[in-house]
Each structure stands twice: as structure tokens, then as C-alpha cells.
Amino acid sequence: MFDKRSRIARLVVGLAGLAIVVGACSSGGSAAPSGKSFTIGYSNGGGVGNGFREEQVCTAKAQALASGQVSTLTTIHRNTDAAGQLSDIRDLIAKGVDAIVFNPNDPAALNPALEEANKAGIKTVSVDAYVTDPTTYNLYNNQIKYAELGAKWLFDQLGGSGTVYYMRGLAGHPADSDRDIGFKNVLKDYPNIKVVPTADGVFTGWDPATATQLINDFIASGQYDQINGIWSSGMGQQVVDGIKAANKPFVPIVDADLYGFVAQLLDPTGYPGLKGAAVTNTAAVGGAGVALALKLLNGEKVETDPSASQPNTVLLNPVLADNVTDAGKATLKSWQVPGLDPGWPLGLTIQGWTTYTPEQAIACKGPGDK
């Protein structure tokens, strides 16, 4: 599936932060410190079928297996709301796991269960977005910077003036809320940029079918002919395909570094006139979250970012690459992984955190899986 290992080596995300000492910790469940064997629960409360979420869960399984320290990884991967995820986390607490890693559906609604986990001696790690529980560690992509990078690139492409179709993710999700902050931070400096369909955009739910329907309806209504650019939140491939199918000229678009979208940006024959940029948003936070949980269980040092809005936070900083400059195109090409699922982001590993191979992530096998 992979032609050269050197290409894989490029798919890592660097981290920088201030090291702090995490004190020796007790753990709930059936941990056996002498044998370094732990049980971990993993909760993903949405985006089933979405490439980012699927890759995230697979990297968690891969890291649990590669670590050699996880005897069982119990995964609850379903579409639900914050109340449903609260119940899922309590189910994991009842199983007596040593740590719980989760992608939160809400920054505060899960706190009652997280407090219960802390009282039971269970370590908790939130990935992809933060929670406000003070005992939980957060590890996620800096979503404010993600949006700022893409918005500035797009607005500059338009010469600071024009109409932008603002396509967001899942309403209420902390990552989407942070991206909205970043988008609007930049928008303040571009008074001649107009946002449609409203100032708060339209939600795709990070669902490919929903995104496809939205862009198709937008084109059919005639509104697409009145815009100058698109800011998308992970559904760029579907948006580009919809525009191509309608035989419409492309407007500049910015989106995440999903394989399918990056492939479109690098295919001038298949997508003539397409100008765009991809911003990194690694789904390997799932695997990194498991690694962080194991660090906490082993009483090891953890890198955190003192500038984060919440304590105990590890932030991963994004980068942007476009197809309108030689340097940008070279970077996009360096990210490519032949044979990867088109819906998966290209950052399969995170330097300093994950220890599995890209092949293991794609295999999606955890401890005990056949």
C-alpha cells in the first residue's frame, strides 16, 4: 500500500511545550503496575463513518496494541448526544478501566461523569477538543489557529473583498466552536468579506452525505454563482465533487488535509482551475490520547501548553499548504500516502507521542483483535 517508507516519515506532527512533572498516580480497575498492564476505555460520541473519526479510533487501537501496556481497549464508537456520551463514560467507569480517552460532545456536559472517574482513581484524557473538568487532560489540534490559517489564506486570495460560503462542522462540538472563534478573529480584519448563508455559517455535521446535499442545494439555488470562495471544515472533497458535477467553475476553497481533498488539489487535469489550501488536522490524536493516558498511569512527564485556555492541555499546531505556490505544492505532495482511504487525514502519526506504524493504523487492530 505504501511505495516508500520515506514518504511515511514525513507524516508526523511536531509538538512543543513546557514539560511538567505529573506525580505518581493511583488507578482504578484492574491495573497491575509491576507488569505495566492497563485497561483503557475509549468513547467517541459522533461522526461514525466520517474519515477523521474513523481514523482517530483506529489510531487509538493501534497505539494501545503497539504500547504493549494495554491488556484491553474497550471502545464505544457511536453517534449520540452529550447525554448519551455521559452514559457511555459511566459505563466505562462501571467496567473498572484504568483510564478513559474520549472525544467530547460538549466541553462541560460530561463533567459529572469525569468527576466520578477521578474519584474512582481513573485517569481521563479528552482528545480533539477540550473539556472544562480540571482533572482531565486535554490533547487536541489547535482549532482556533486551524481556522485562522485557512481564513486568512482564503481572504487574501480574494484580495480582501468578496462573498464566502462558510461551511462548519458539528454544532456544539468544542472543535467547531473553536474554529468559529478563529474564523471570526480573522474576519474582523477583513471588513469587505461577506459571509453566507449567515454570519454563523451552515453546519455539515461532519457528515459527507449532508455536505454533499448542502453544496448541491446551494448550487441549484443559484447562490453558488454569487460567491467568491468557500471555507470548509473537513468536507472539502464532497464540496469540490459537487461543483465539478454541476459543471461550475471553481472558487478558491480551504479545507482540512484529508487525502481525497489533497489529491484533488494536486490534479489540475481532473479539476482544472481549482485553487485551494489544506490545513493539517491530524486524527492521530486518538493514538496520542492513549499514549498520554499511559504516561499518566505510569507517572511520567507530560508536555503541556501554558498558553492554552484550559489547564493540563497539549496543543498540536497546524500548518497550511496550498496549490498556488511551488512550495505549497511540494508540501502537499510530501503529505501523500498512496492507497489511503480518501476520507482519512494524512497525518497518521504524531512525533513524540505515537509509536505504531502507519500500516498498523490502517489495519485498525487493538489488543486482542484478530
What integer is the mean pLDDT of 308-318?
90
What integer is the mean pLDDT of 202-221?
96
Q: Give me the CATH code for the 5-141+283-317+343-363 domain, please.
A: 3.40.50.2300
Residue 35 is predicted with a pLDDT of 59
Helix 236-245 / helix 208-220 crossing angle, nearest 10 deg: 40
Residue 31 is predicted with a pLDDT of 38
Q: For residue 323, give the 3-state DSSP assignment.
A: coil
Q: How far is CA 47 from each of CA 52, 54, 62, 140, rounded to the nearest angstrom? A: 8, 8, 19, 16
**Res. 235: pLDDT tops 80:** yes
Domain boundaries defined on the chain: 5-141+283-317+343-363, 143-279
Residue 29 is predicted with a pLDDT of 36
pLDDT digits (tens, 9 = 90+) for 325-356: 999 999 999 888 877 888 899 988 888 899 99
Residue 327 is predicted with a pLDDT of 96
- Give residue 58's pLDDT band: very low, low, confident or very high (50, 70, 90): very high
Helix 51-67 / helix 285-297 crossing angle, nearest 10 deg: 40
**DSSP-assigned letters across all residues of 29-95:** TT-BGGGTBEEEEEEE-S-TT-HHHHHHHHHHHHHHHHHS-EEEEEEEE----HHHHHHHHHHHHHT
What integer is the mean pLDDT of 357-367?
92
Q: Give me the CATH code for the 143-279 domain, please.
A: 3.40.50.2300
Residue 301 is predicted with a pLDDT of 86
Helix 82-94 / helix 111-119 crossing angle, nearest 10 deg: 10
The answer to whether 5-141+283-317+343-363 and 143-279 have equal CATH topology is yes
For residue 295, which of 23, 17, 12 has the smallest C-alpha distance? 23
**Res. 107: pLDDT tops 70:** yes
**Res. 16: pLDDT tops 70:** no
Q: Which cell numbers hold the place of 102?
A: 474520549
